Amino acid sequence: MVKRWFSVIGKEIRGLHEAAYLLAIFAFSSQLLALVRDKLLAFMFGAGHSLDIYYASFRIPDLIFTSVGSIVSASILLPYFIQRFESGSEKGKSFSNSIFTYLTSGGILYAAH
């Protein structure tokens, strides 16, 4: 079982799409595990001072993770924006509007969490 996980993680990434999918899978898995962790901690310790300190300690690592994820997402989307705007202004606007809509919806859902 462990060898299978290391073979998946250690596999050579052949393209930008594959790297983006891998990043998305790990980011989603991270959020699911964080949700489970938070629920377990809230159940075990309840609302209190020590749990607040624990949550506050994750602010900086979460900021770093979000910043790196944003930079990676921007570097992945930039070639697509350039390609769409070179093929036509209307295609570029449509593509940027759809990306903005998805990112805004995801941000609102995340903030509601």
What pLDDT, on a 0 to 100 scale, did the predictor assign at position 33? 92
Exposed/middle/buried for residue 73 (C-beta within 10 Å: 0-12, 13-18, 19+): middle
What pLDDT, on a 0 to 100 scale, did the predictor assign at position 102? 82
Own/partner long-range contacts of 10-13 (Cβ < 8 Å, ≥24 apart): none
Find the helix packing angle between 59-87 and 16-45, rounded to 10°: 150
Q: How far apart are CA 100 and CA 66, in angstroms?
A: 17
What pLDDT, on a 0 to 100 scale, did the predictor assign at position 1? 67
Q: Report the length, in residues, of the chain.
A: 113
Other Cβ atoms within 10 Å of 41 Cβ, number: 14
* Average pLDDT along the chain, 113 residues, taken 10 residues at a time: 70 72 82 88 82 83 82 77 78 78 80 69
CA 6-10-13 angle, to 5 degrees, is 145
